[in-house]
Amino acid sequence: MEHRQDTIFALASGGGRGAIAVVRLSGPGCGDVLRRVAGGLPQARQASLRRLRAPGSGEVLDQALVLWFPAPASYTGEDCAELHLHGGPAVIAAVSEALAVLGARPAEPGEFTRRAFLNNRMDLTAAEGIADLIAAETEAQRRQALRQADGALARLLEGWAARLMRLLAHQEAAIEFADDDLPSDLGDRARAGAAALKAEIATHLADGGQGERLREGVVVAILGAPNAGKSSLLNTLAGREAAIVSARAGTTRDVVEVRLVLAGVPVTLADTAGLRDAGDEIEQEGIRRARRRAGEADLVLAVFAANEAPDAATLEWAARGAVVVANKVDLALAPAGIAGVAPLAVSALTGEGLQALRERLEAEARRLAGAGDAAMLTRPRHRAALTEAAAWLAEAEAAPLPELVSEALRAALRALGRVTGRVGVEDVLDIVFGEFCIGK
């Protein structure tokens, strides 16, 4: 908080050489800095071409577009400015030095957005959305981030918080004014409302972790017997020779990863060592790594060669929901079913079935990380807080005493409020007194 009185600046565009570099400033000293470095305050929110001069010597440092965003209608809610410089390192260094001489200090990571949050320009989920938007590498990630930055998750949470606040108000009224002529079933209504809200939150929690997966990417592990053609499949899916392919069983030792984008979802495809009991120490370590990676993966591609009987691991993973792939169908027909699952018949050699495999992987990526239109939970902290809120609502529903119902509702409200960073249990009083006009 004490930091909020000073004025910060930072290079807001990417590092390195570019046509334009944007230096952003925020804080109460912005106006002064502009007057001294740009010779005056430009019209608010309009680009003006100015010579920037070094304080003291008056030497011209650059010719720049200058923008002035007086508080409170700015990104941070404070006085802000942008200097659009020529994007060379020496220009950026000279202007940064001038700003420092004038009393501004280099911003810490995330400090502009932190100030925006502290000045109520956005809630925590919107701030996270902006961070995600900057980090987004795929279309689906961009869409999800933009929705969150735009307040979709905050609106959902604030809607729930408002309902919860009313329930709490009803419950408090039922306790405080038991003798007055209030509706006598207020307490029951609060419990029923808690149950309904709990169910709604539970539905959101049962999203299969899609939002988090889209943010972090989906991990797909390729598993199977030696020489099944795992590395060959990795290479065709990646479109490059990422892994060594050879006729010798036990070629792949370390996990080989490639990054793909499937249906707008970032996917890490991990090729692993063929599973078998034989092999030297190194191969056995590779096999341990293969099993570990498969255990942690969001999806396993269990690959076997159609001209051989499926190995035990393929059968096991088929039963556990893996996508089963019969490779080398140029050599033999694929069996109809493996542990009740119809395998995808492919040939890494001839290309047969690879389009179907790619489409299947896209469908799986969509299922695992599908960017629907909903306000998704995108971070473990969202999930943890909602889980806690749902648990408190269950407690409220079952609590034997009205006071305990109240307490549980308050705790649920605090848990919800943590997600947006706007915790306001005090607001409940306004509802109690506004809605019921008690005591006039």
Ligand X SMILES: Nc1nc2c(ncn2[C@@H]2O[C@H](COP(=O)(O)OP(=O)(O)OP(=O)(O)O)[C@@H](O)[C@H]2O)c(=O)[nH]1
For binding to K ion (CB under 5 A), which residues are involved? 227, 251
**Nearest approach, Cβ of 258 to Mg ion (angstroms)?**
13
Amino acid at 300: V
Burial class of residue 358, CB neighbours in 10 A (0-12, 13-18, 19+): middle
Burial class of residue 47, CB neighbours in 10 A (0-12, 13-18, 19+): middle
Phi, psi for residue 66 in degrees, rounded to 5: -120, 135
Q: Which pair of tokens denotes residue 207?
A: 């999203």
**Nearest approach, Cβ of 204 to K ion (angstroms)?**
45
d(CA 8, CA 264): 37
What is the DSSP secondary-structure string of 49-75? Answer: EEEEE-TTT--EEEEEEEEEE-TTSSS
Pick the closer one to K ion by CB: 263 or 301: 301
Q: Which residue of 252, 347, 378, 420 would you call a contact of Mg ion, by CB under 5 A?
A: 252
User: Contact at 8 Å (CB) between 88 and 17?
Assistant: yes
**Nearest approach, Cβ of 226 to Mg ion (angstroms)?**
8
Q: Which pair of tokens denotes residue 325?
A: 């792939």
| Contacted by 210, from ligand X, Mg ion, K ion, none: CB < 5 to 8 Å by type | none
Pick the closer one to K ion by CB: 194 or 273: 273
**Nearest approach, Cβ of 341 to ligand X (angstroms)?**
19
d(CA 437, CA 239): 70
327 touching Mg ion, by CB under 5 A: no
Annotated binding site: 24, 82, 121, 227-232, 246-252, 271-274, 440
Do the bridges between strand 218-224 and strand 299-305 make them parallel or antiparallel, or are there none, so unpaired? parallel
User: Contact at 8 Å (CB) between 269 and 237?
Assistant: yes
d(CA 221, CA 338): 19
| Contacted by 336, from K ion, ligand X, Mg ion, none: CB < 5 to 8 Å by type | none
Burial class of residue 90, CB neighbours in 10 A (0-12, 13-18, 19+): exposed
| Contacted by 348, from ligand X, K ion, Mg ion, none: CB < 5 to 8 Å by type | ligand X
| Contacted by 366, from Mg ion, K ion, ligand X, none: CB < 5 to 8 Å by type | none
| Contacted by 232, from K ion, ligand X, Mg ion, none: CB < 5 to 8 Å by type | ligand X
Instruction: Fill in the per-residue mask, 103 to 142: x = in contact with ligand X (CB under 6 A), - = not in contact.
Output: ----------------------------------------
d(CA 131, CA 187): 42
Amino acid at 54: A
Pick the closer one to Mg ion by CB: 171 or 231: 231
Compute how many residues bind ligand X; rule: CB under 6 A. Answer: 23
d(CA 117, CA 125): 10
| 22-31 core/surface letters (b: 16 or more CB in 10 A; e: else) | bbbbbbebbb
**Nearest approach, Cβ of 249 to K ion (angstroms)?**
6
Q: Which pair of tokens denotes residue 191?
A: 């419990």
**Nearest approach, Cβ of 306 to ligand X (angstroms)?**
8
Pick the closer one to Mg ion by CB: 195 or 242: 242
Pick the closer one to Mg ion by CB: 141 or 251: 251
Q: Which pair of tokens denotes residue 71?
A: 């508080």
Q: Which residue of 231, 327, 347, 420 would you call a contact of Mg ion, by CB under 5 A?
A: 231
Q: Which residue of 12, 41, 202, 249 would you call a contact of ligand X, by CB under 6 A?
A: 249
Pick the closer one to K ion by CB: 26 or 251: 251
Give the closest residue to 172 by CA, choosing from 387, 386, 396, 420.
396
Pick the closer one to ligand X by CB: 5 or 355: 355
d(CA 394, CA 398): 6
Q: Which pair of tokens denotes residue 376?
A: 């998704």
Interface segment toward Mg ion; rule CB under 5 A; list 52-60, 67-75, 245-253, 422-430? 245-253
**Nearest approach, Cβ of 332 to ligand X (angstroms)?**
9
Amino acid at 42: P
Pick the closer one to K ion by CB: 251 or 327: 251
- The DSSP element (H or E) to which 160 belongs, if any, is helix 152-176
| Contacted by 355, from K ion, Mg ion, ligand X, none: CB < 5 to 8 Å by type | none
Q: Which pair of tokens denotes residue 434?
A: 């506004």
Site residues (CB under 6 A) for ligand X, limited to 324-363: 327-328, 330-331, 347-349
Interface segment toward Mg ion; rule CB under 5 A; list 159-167, 231-239, 302-310, 419-427? 231-239
Interface segment toward ligand X; rule CB under 6 A; list 41-49, 190-198, 245-253, 371-379? 245-253
**Nearest approach, Cβ of 264 to K ion (angstroms)?**
33
Q: Give the footprint of Mg ion on this chain (CB under 5 A).
A: 230-231, 251-252
Q: Give the footprint of ligand X on this chain (CB under 6 A).
A: 226-232, 245-247, 249-252, 273-274, 327-328, 330-331, 347-349
